[in-house]
Structure 1
Amino acid sequence: MKKSALLNSELSHLTATLGHTDEITICDAGLPIPSTTHRIDLALTLGIPTFAQTVDVFLKESQIEGVILAEEFEQFSPEHHQALLQRIEQEKKLTGKEISISYITHEAFKSRTHQSKAIVRTGECTPYANVIFQSGVTF
């Protein structure tokens, strides 16, 4: 049995096969997911698992170098937005790597998800609790 925190086989496979600059979206329960993009559906019921829980586990398994967020996230869900920024700051300190953060409109964000290698759907019901991570390298 795996010893690390990530037990979901699909998500584990995704993290093991990421290449440099691959994009992965972690989203709330309502974000539309393109039929052409691989969906990893973790949602069990409203709020389970949370966006934050999913991000935390993903960051323990993956090196990131970039973050893309919808501009509306900060305005409509300021507490969740701030919590995510704190997680990114912790990740910078833990890895010693720079992580860029950029913002685009929610409409542009939804279009950008088409480039994701996979979209991980959580049970989160907080507006705009979505992130696109750009994979980095550990060396």
Structure 2
Amino acid sequence: MKRAGILNRHLSGALAELGHGHGVLVCDAGMPIPQGPRVVDLAFRAGVPSFAEVLEGLLAELVVEGATAATEVREANPAAAELLDGHFPGLALVPHERLKDLSADARLIVRTGEARPYANVLLRCGVFF
């Protein structure tokens, strides 16, 4: 048994399969899930687990070279915007409809139980060397 880190076997396994340039969408409970990408659904109840909890856990295990979020997050969800800005100084912003289009090319989608709007980010994997 793992001692620490992400214990969910489906998520841990999916993360181990990621490579440089692959996309990982971390999304709220309301984000439409496109056909195609692998999905690990962590949503349990409204707000559980939160977007922040899942993002923090993923960032502890992933190398991320870039991130994209919806422009609308700034006005509709200042807490999520502040969290994203704190982790990604070069955060790219696109309209929400464009983020939904981009999510179709993600390798992995991690759905949280987040119930606040626009708590979504598309991460681009980097390399550790």
Query: Does TM, normalized by the shorter one, top 0.5?
Result: yes
Q: Assess if the C-alpha contact under 8 Å between 2:84 and 2:91 holds in 1.
A: no
**Under a length normalisation based on structure 2, what TM-score does the superposition of the two structures give?**
0.95
TM-score normalized by structure 1? 0.88
Secondary structure of the residue that 1:10 maps to in structure 2? helix
The amino acid that maps onto 1:3 is R
Q: Return the match for 1:122 from 105, 112, 122.
A: 112
Count of matched residue positions in the alignment of Structure 1 and Structure 2: 129
- Separation in structure 2 between the aligned mates of residue 108 and residue 83 of structure 1, nearest angstrom: 21
The secondary structure found in structure 2 opposite 1:66 is: strand
Distance 1:133 1:110 in 2: 13
Indicate the structure with greater helix content.
1
Give CA deviations for 1:90-111 in whole Å, capped at 9, x if unaligned. xxxxxxxxxx421111000000
What does 1:1-139 correspond to in 2, within 5 Å?
1-88=1-88, 100-139=90-129
Instruction: Decide whether the 8 Å contact of 2:35 with 2:104 is kept in 1.
Output: no
Q: Which moved more, 1:48-57 or 1:78-87?
A: 78-87
Gaps of 5+ in 2: none
60-69 or 71-80, which moves further after superposition?
A: 71-80
Identity of aligned residues (%): 38
Query: What CA distance in whole angstroms lies between the structure 2 residues aligned with 1:15 and 1:130?
Result: 18
What is the CA distance between 1:35 and its match in structure 2? 2.2
- Give structure 1 regions of 4+ aligned residues with deviation exceeding 3 angstroms: none
State whether residues 52 and 84 of structure 1, in contact with CA within 8 Å, keep that contact through their aligned partners in structure 2. Answer: no
Structure 1 residues not aligned, in runs of 5+: 90-99
Q: CA RMSD in A?
A: 1.1
1:108 counterpart letter in structure 2: R
